[in-house]
Structure 1
Amino acid sequence: MSIHLLSQKTGQYAGWFIAFMLLFLLGCSKSPDSTPVETNQEPVLGCDGQTYIMPSESPYVLPFPVGQTFQTGLTNCSSSFHGPGQPDQYAFDFNMPTGTPFVAARGGIVFEVVENASGKNNLAKFTNSDNYSIVGNYVTIDHGDSTFGLYLHSPDDGIAVTVGDSVQQGDVLGVTGRSGLAGYPHLHFIVVKYPPEFPYSGIAVSFSNALPADVVLQGDTQYKAVAY
C-alpha cells in the first residue's frame, strides 16, 4: 500500500472515530428538560429561620406525576393562611383541576385518611368554631422520622389508599378537589412535625425533581415534575 493511500485510510478512520465519539457524547448527555439545575447555591432561610435543603439533596418530589406541569398558588411564607407565623406558612398550593391524581412526595405508611368531610363533622383536629372542616378530605403519610406529609382538599371518596398501607414515592394517593376551606380546586401539601394535628408545625422542604429547580417554589409559577 502506498504512503499516500495509507494516509487517506488513516484520515478516514480518524474522521469516523471523531464522528462516533461526538454521537456517543451526545447520546450520553441529558436533555436540559430532564435534569433540574439549582438556581441558588446559597443556603436559603424560611420566615422562621429554618434552612431549606438544596433540591439535589431533598427526599421529596413534586406531589404530581412525572411529566406533568402545574402552576402554584400560595407558597411558603406568602400571605393569607400561608403567611408568616401561620400553621401553614410552609405549605404549597398546586392548582390542579378536580379529579387530578396526586402522588406521594415521599414514601411511608398511610397514617390517616378522611374522605367524607365535605360538611359538618366531628374531626376536632381540623375544624373551626362552627364545626366545619377547614381542610376537607385528606390523607396523611408517616415518613418514619417523626415527619408527616399532609395532602388536603380531596373530594368525597377521593382517597385511593387506606390506613396502614405502605406507599412508595410517586404512588398515587388520591385525586384533587376543593373540600374544606378551598375557594377553588387545588392540592394543599405540607410536611409537618409530630403530631400531625392542627395547629401543626410545618417544615421547610424543597423538591428534587422540580423544573425550574427553585430551592423555594415561587407563587403563581409553572413547575414540571421531571424524572428522578
Structure 2
Amino acid sequence: MTLNLKQLRNVKADHTLPLYVELPAHSTQLLLHLKRQNASQPAYYKSRYGWVMGLASARHDADYRYAVPFQKGKKVRVSQGFNGKTSHNGYSRYAVDFAVPVGTPVYAAREGKVVATRASGSKGALKRGYGKYANYIVIEHSDGTFGKYYHLKKQGVAVRVGERVKQGDLIGYSGNTGYSSGPHLHFSVSKVDPQYKQRPVTVPFLLQTATGVVRNVKRGDRYIR
C-alpha cells in the first residue's frame, strides 16, 4: 500500500511521505500520526492512497517451468506473445494470449492458492473501458508471484478464493470478456513493481511444452502440453 499526503497546512506527519507499507489481507494497522502544530489554527491536508496485491520483496523463481494451461495433447496457437504489439508492452510485456474457442477448459500452469476471481462479466470488445468486464482467476505462487488467467467466459470460474490447486488442475473456461478482440486466454505471471510499488509488472517465465522448454513465447507459435 502507498499513502501520501499533500498540501499539509498546520499539520505534520511522524513518517516520511509517501509511505510504503506491506499489510496482511483483512488486517488493521496504525500507519502514522498527524499532529496539529498550532492548536488554535485550523489544519488541512489531502490524502491519496493506492494498493496492489503482493509483496514488493517477492522474487520470481526464474527456473520454474510453467505448464501450457490447457489439456494434455491439445495444440494451441499464440495470438500475442511477449512484447506483443497490440497490448503486451510496458508492465504487460511478458503476457501471452492463446487463441482458443469460448469454453475451452483452462488448467493451472503452476500450483498455488486462489486469491481472486470474477465470473459475472458478459461483455467483451477492444474498446476503452471494457477492461472492467473481464472475468479472471488469480493464483498466488509460493515465491510471491501471481498467475493471472483473464477473459474467461461468464460463469467460467471453477475454483473458489482460498482453494489450493496443483499444476494441471482444471480451474475454469476461456472466453471473450473484457478488453478483448476475440476469444482467447490471456495468461501472465506478475509481481509488485519494485520501482513504483503501486502496480503489478509481468515477469518472463519458462513454458514447458511437450517438445521442450520455451523461453520467448512468440506470436504464431503452436504448443502442446
Normalized against structure 2, the TM-score is what?
0.65
Q: Secondary structure at 1:192's aligned position in 2? A: strand
Identity value in percent? 32
Q: 1:129 to 1:95 in 2, by over 3 A?
A: closer
User: CA contact under 8 A between 2:76 and 2:100: conserved in structure 1?
Assistant: yes
135 and 141 in structure 1: CA distance in 2 versus 1, 3 angstrom threshold: farther
Cα offsets for 1:169-217 (capped at 9, x unmatched)? 000110000000111100000000048x994210100112353643212
Given that 1:52 and 1:206 are in contact with CA atoms closer than 8 Å, whether structure 2 keeps it comes out as no
Task: Write the distance in 2 (CA, Å) between the matches of 1:80 and 1:198.
Answer: 24
- How many angstroms apart in 2 are the aligned matches of 1:77 and 1:137? 23
Tell me which of 164, 176, 182 is aligned to 1:178.
Answer: 176
Per-residue deviation, residues 136-181 of structure 1 (Å, max 9, x unmatched): 0000001122100000001110000010011000001100000001
Distance 1:194 1:64 in 2: 27
Match of 1:72 in 2: 78
User: Which structure has the greater CA radius of gyration?
Assistant: 1
Q: Per the alignment, in what secondary structure is the counterpart of residue 66 of structure 2?
A: coil
- Structure showing greater relative contact order (alpha-carbon pairs closer than 8 Å, 6 or more residues apart): 1
- In structure 2, what is the equivalent of residue 157 of structure 1? 155
Contact 1:58/1:208 (8 A) holds in 2: no
Conservation of the 8 A alpha-carbon contact between 1:135 and 1:180: yes
Q: 2: distance between equivalents of 1:129 and 1:184?
A: 15
Match of 2:103 among 99, 104, 117: 99
Gaps spanning 5+ residues in structure 1: where?
1-50, 121-127
> In the alignment, does 2:201 pair up with 1:201?
yes
**How far 1:61 sits from its partner (Å)?**
1.0
Aligned to 2:42: none
8 Å CA contact retained: 2:66, 2:205:
yes
State the alpha-carbon separation in 1 of the partners of residues 78 and 132 from structure 2.
20
Letter in 2 for 1:64: F
Asked if structure 1 preserves the Cα contact closer than 8 Å seen for 2:192 and 2:198, the reply is no
Structure having the higher helix fraction is 1
Q: Which amino acid aligns with 2:179?
A: L
Contact kept? 1:146, 1:194, Cα under 8 Å? no
C-alpha distance in 2, partners of 1:69/1:58? 22
Q: Aligned-pair RMSD on alpha carbons? A: 2.7
Change (3 A) 1:189 1:91: same
